[in-house]
Each structure stands twice: as structure tokens, then as C-alpha cells.
């Protein structure tokens, strides 16, 4: 055995660099995962918004209950005082005392006072019943709001779990890429976006888009572009990080116009305008499920918060599939 010459050990195979086709597959998987995470982020933001609104409603109901209970206590004291006065007056009913009176004037005054007393008593008892009914309604409303609050919390937790799972899977896929492959992947993303933008611009659409920003739109654009370079974080509304709809929300808040929190609700609730009629400050909603939004800043460009691992940046307005355009400060005609 010792006389057998040693065989040279083969060097371990180095992982082959991924082909462009393989990188394209990774790109599609990563994009799909980030899109799913963004859809879940919309669901999370919507549930969170509802949760906050429901909490405020519950607090308001609690305050109303406290105020109404004070009213109830005052009415009960009034009823008690009336009952005590009747007890002190003896067992003979007031009506009989009036009939037995010898003085006609006393009789007339007594009848008037008795009538007023009866009306007052009926009024107090009626208010007491109304107040109790109000308290019962508050109790029912509070119970319903707690049920809705629990449902919102559950939806929010489920969305949060899904977001984390999708982001973790996307990061795992990207972490398997070597540094040069990660750079090639980034360039591949940029190339796809550039080709989509070139196709959109090549359609001649910019020849028709010449709208001027309103004063509010200018303020919104100024705020949004001032955030360029800040990281994307799902569920974030600033001031240091944003998600896509968090950026547009705060930009229009800075312009004095409150808008819905999520891109889907922005698409559903805000007035729509044709793409060729859009102007700086308008919001472009992307993808069929309205899961991404950017703000048009003019010259075929948007400012947006793209996805995790990226920063607020400028991009071509046509670099993603456009669903439509909404205008937060559109006046009704």
C-alpha cells in the first residue's frame, strides 16, 4: 500500500456563476415576493388604521358613558328627593288634600301646583328611562367596537406574519448571490425598468402630459423629493423611513390634504384623472391590485419608496405597470 503513489486530490468545485437566465429567474422570484410583501403591507396598514380608529371610538364611548352615568346619578337623586318629600307629606294623597280644602283659592293654587308637580315627576322619570336607554346603546356600541378591534388586531397580526415571511424568503434568495451577482441583479432590475420606461415614453404619452402643479401639489412634491435617500421600511410613515404609501400620505399631509393610508385605499377613494391629464403631485397607482404608489413630479418621473433594501428615489413613471392616476386636491364639479 505504501508503494502506491498518492493521487492528487481534486480542488473543490467553485460554484458556477449564475447565468443571466438564472438571474432572471431569481429576479422574478424576488420581485414576486416583494410584491406579495407589499400587498400584505397594505393589509397591515389598513388594519392598523382601523385599529387606531376603533380605539379612539372606544375611548369616546367610555367618556360618553362616564358623562351619562353622572346624569343618571343626578336624576336618581332628584327622584329620591321627590319621593322623600311625598313621604314627609304624609299618607294622604295630594289630590285628596286639595278636595278637602276649605279655601277655593288654596284649592286652585293647589291644583296648579299638583299638575306641575306631576308633570315634573313624569319628566324626571322619562329622562331617567331615556338615560338608561342611552347607556344600553353605549354598552352595545362598545361591545361591537371591541369585536371589530379584535378582528383588526387579528388581520394586522396575520399581515405582519406574512410580510416577515415573504421578506425573509426574498432576503434568503438574495443572500445566496455573490456580490458580483447581486450587482448584476441590481443592473438587471434597472434594465427592465429602463426598457419599460422607454416603451412608455416611446408611445408619445409625454406629448399630452403638460399639466402644471397646483400650489398644494407643489408642496407635496417638495416634501416627497426632500425624502430622497431615506430607507424603505414597511409600515413606516417617516420621518426617517417610509413605505410607498407612507411617503405619499405624509407628502400630502404636508400640503394640507389628508388622504387614505394605503395605496389601495388611495386608488379606491381619491378622484381619478386620465394619465395624459396628470400633473405634478398626482399619485400614480401601480399593478392590478393597486399595491404600489408613486408621486408624479413631472417630465415622466416619479418619486417613490420602492421596496425593502432600497431608498426613496426618482424613477420613470412608466417603469412599472400603471393602473391609474388619482388627484388628492381635485375639486368636485
Q: What is the pLDDT of residues 20-56, one digit of tens each?
A: 677 778 778 888 888 888 888 888 888 888 888 888 8
> Are residues 218 and 156 located together in one domain of the fold?
no
Residue of 230, 292, 307, 327 with catalytic role? 292
| CATH number assigned to the domain comprising residue 120 | 1.10.287.1490
Residue of 48, 230, 304, 307 with catalytic role? 304
CB count in 10 Å sphere of residue 234: 25
Q: Render pLDDT for 151-167 as a digit per residue (tens, 0 to 9).
A: 888 888 888 888 888 88
> Are residues 167 and 311 located together in one domain of the fold?
no
Question: How much is the pLDDT for 102?
Answer: 54
- For helices 215-226 and 244-254, give the axis angle rounded to 10 degrees: 130
Phi, psi of 314 (to 5 degrees): -90, 145
> Are residues 159 and 247 located together in one domain of the fold?
no
Question: How much is the pLDDT for 213?
Answer: 93
Residue of 244, 255, 270, 293 with catalytic role? 244
**Catalytic (active site) residue 244:** yes
> Are residues 77 and 107 located together in one domain of the fold?
yes
> Are residues 91 and 219 located together in one domain of the fold?
no
Domain count, the chain: 2
> Are residues 189 and 309 located together in one domain of the fold?
yes
Question: How much is the pLDDT for 210?
Answer: 85
> Are residues 192 and 224 located together in one domain of the fold?
yes
> Are residues 310 and 217 located together in one domain of the fold?
yes
Interatomic CA distance for residues 255 and 217, integer angstroms: 7
Beta strands 292-298 and 272-273: pairing type?
unpaired
For residue 3, being part of any structural domain is answered with: no
Per the listing, cell 311625598 goes with 86
- For residue 99, give every residue at least 6 positions away whose Cβ sits within 8 Å of its Cβ, in sequence order, or none: 107
For the CA atoms of 308, 312, 318, 321, what is the dihedral angle to 10 degrees?
Answer: 30
Q: Provide the grid cell at 48.
A: 392598523
Interatomic CA distance for residues 63 and 54, integer angstroms: 14
> Are residues 141 and 201 located together in one domain of the fold?
no
> Are residues 26 and 153 located together in one domain of the fold?
yes
Range of the domain at 90: 20-172
> Are residues 152 and 190 located together in one domain of the fold?
no
**Catalytic (active site) residue 185:** no
| Among candidate residues 133, 151, 172, the one where a domain is terminated | 172
Q: What is the pTM of this model?
A: 0.66
Q: Render pLDDT for 174-206 as a digit per residue (tens, 0 to 9).
A: 778 777 887 887 888 888 889 999 999 999 999
> Are residues 164 and 245 located together in one domain of the fold?
no
Cβ–Cβ under 8 Å, residues 200 and 316: yes
**Catalytic (active site) residue 304:** yes
For residue 331, being part of any structural domain is answered with: no
- pLDDT means per 10 residues, the chain with 333 residues, are 40 53 79 83 85 87 85 76 63 48 54 57 72 82 84 84 85 80 82 91 90 94 97 92 96 96 94 95 95 95 92 94 95 56
**Torsion over CA: 311, 316, 317, 320 (sign):** negative
Amino acid at each position: 500500500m505504501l508503494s502506491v503513489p498518492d493521487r492528487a486530490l481534486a480542488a473543490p468545485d467553485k460554484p458556477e456563476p449564475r447565468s443571466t437566465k438564472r438571474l432572471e429567474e431569481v429576479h422574478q422570484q424576488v420581485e414576486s415576493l416583494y410584491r406579495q410583501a407589499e400587498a400584505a403591507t397594505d393589509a397591515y396598514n389598513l388594519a392598523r388604521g382601523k385599529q387606531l380608529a376603533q380605539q379612539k371610538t372606544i375611548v369616546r364611548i367610555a367618556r360618553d358613558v362616564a358623562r351619562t352615568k353622572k346624569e343618571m346619578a343626578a336624576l336618581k337623586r332628584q327622584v329620591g328627593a321627590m319621593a322623600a318629600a311625598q313621604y314627609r307629606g304624609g299618607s294622604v294623597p295630594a289630590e285628596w288634600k286639595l278636595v278637602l280644602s276649605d279655601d277655593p283659592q288654596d284649592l286652585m293654587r293647589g291644583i296648579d301646583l299638583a299638575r306641575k308637580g306631576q308633570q315634573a315627576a313624569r319628566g324626571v322619570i322619562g329622562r331617567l328611562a331615556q338615560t338608561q336607554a342611552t347607556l344600553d346603546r353605549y354598552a352595545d356600541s362598545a361591545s361591537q367596537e371591541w369585536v371589530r378591534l379584535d378582528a383588526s388586531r387579528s388581520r394586522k397580526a396575520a399581515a405582519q406574519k406574512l410580510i416577515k415571511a415573504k421578506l425573509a424568503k426574498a432576503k434568503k434568495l438574495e443572500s445566496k448571490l455573490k456580490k458580483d451577482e447581486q450587482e448584476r441583479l441590481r443592473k438587471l432590475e434597472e434594465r427592465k425598468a429602463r426598457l419599460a420606461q422607454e416603451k412608455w415614453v416611446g408611445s408619445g404619452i409625454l406629448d399630452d402630459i403638460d399639466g402644471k402643479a397646483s400650489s398644494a401639489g407643489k408642496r407635496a412634491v417638495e416634501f416627497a423629493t426632500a425624502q430622497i435617500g431615506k430607507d424603505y421600511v414597511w409600515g413606516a410613515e417617516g420621518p426617517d423611513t417610509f413605505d410607498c404609501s407612507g411617503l405619499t400620505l405624509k407628502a400630502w399631509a404636508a400640503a394640507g390634504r389628508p388622504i387614505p393610508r394605503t395605496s389601495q385605499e388611495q386608488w379606491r377613494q381619491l378622484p381619478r384623472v386620465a394619465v395624459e391629464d396628470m400633473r405634478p403631485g398626482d399619485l400614480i397607482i401601480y399593478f392590478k391590485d393597486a399595491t404600489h404608489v408613486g408621486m408624479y413630479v413631472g417630465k415622466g418621473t416619479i418619486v417613490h419608496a420602492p421596496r425593502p433594501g432600497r431608498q426613496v428615489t426618482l424613477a420613470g413613471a412608466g417603469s412599472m405597470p400603471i393602473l391609474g392616476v388619482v388627484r388628492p386636491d381635485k375639486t368636485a364639479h
